[in-house]
Amino acid sequence: MLTKPLNASNKNARKEAELIIYEAERESDRIIANAHDTVNHLANEVELLRHNGRNLQFEMQRMLTQQLDLIKSQTFEQEIAFCNTYDRR
């Protein structure tokens, strides 16, 4: 006589356990998907930073080369001579 209520109680407990496991699996899938999204986003950000760093290095090198060329040019020496002449007045 007690067997029937125990069987019903066991079935309910089993169904509840299955539901808990199902919900936990769904939550873990969601967490893993969010983690993958975060990893992909960070990888894109790192690549963008590397690209921007290379561009900055190129632009700095170009600017410094232009400045060095200007310093080495005769025009620059003429400008310095003119400024020295002007300062002496």
pLDDT, mean of residues 56-66: 97
Cα–Cα distance measured from residue 54 to residue 49, given in angstroms and rounded to the nearest whole number: 9
In this predicted structure, the answer to whether residue 1 has a pLDDT above a threshold of 60 is no
Residue 5 has a pLDDT of 65
Residue 3 has a pLDDT of 56
User: Which range has the worst mean pLDDT, 11-15, 78-82, 84-88?
Assistant: 84-88
pTM: 0.58
Cα–Cα distance measured from residue 69 to residue 63, given in angstroms and rounded to the nearest whole number: 10
In this predicted structure, the answer to whether residue 19 has a pLDDT above a threshold of 70 is yes
* Angle (deg, nearest 10), helices 74-87 and 3-72: 70
- Counting every residue written for the chain, the total comes to 89
